[in-house]
Amino acid sequence: MTEQQFRAQLAQRAFSAPVRVQRDPNTRLAHHAHPFEAMALIVAGDITITTAAGAVTYTAGEVFHLPANEAHEEAFGPQGVVYLAGRKAP
């Protein structure tokens, strides 16, 4: 997906304008949840999201979606990750 397509999809679904997030290589965020729904487009690098359903790795051009309050972990690959994230209040 392109950035333009992603931005259009966020607007269509009433998400906030995306913010750019960058995470360092080979780091992680421990088990947590967000009080908002999130969608993110991977711009560079990769991220592995682990939920109760299992682990999925996303790379450049792919989009991940997390419902509000879904517990998860985030692990960032050897190049780290850069993504654009939109949020939507439940």
- pLDDT band with cut points at 50, 70 and 90 for residue 1: very high
| Per-residue pLDDT tens over the stretch 4-60 | 999 999 999 999 999 999 999 999 999 999 999 999 999 999 999 999 999 999 999
Q: What is the DSSP secondary-structure string of 10-42?
A: HHHTTPPPPEEEEE-TT-EEEEE--SSEEEEEE
Global model pTM greater than 0.85? yes
Domains of the chain by start residue, with CATH: 3-88 (2.60.120.10)
Give the closest residue to 42 by CA, choosing from 22, 61, 24, 29. Answer: 61
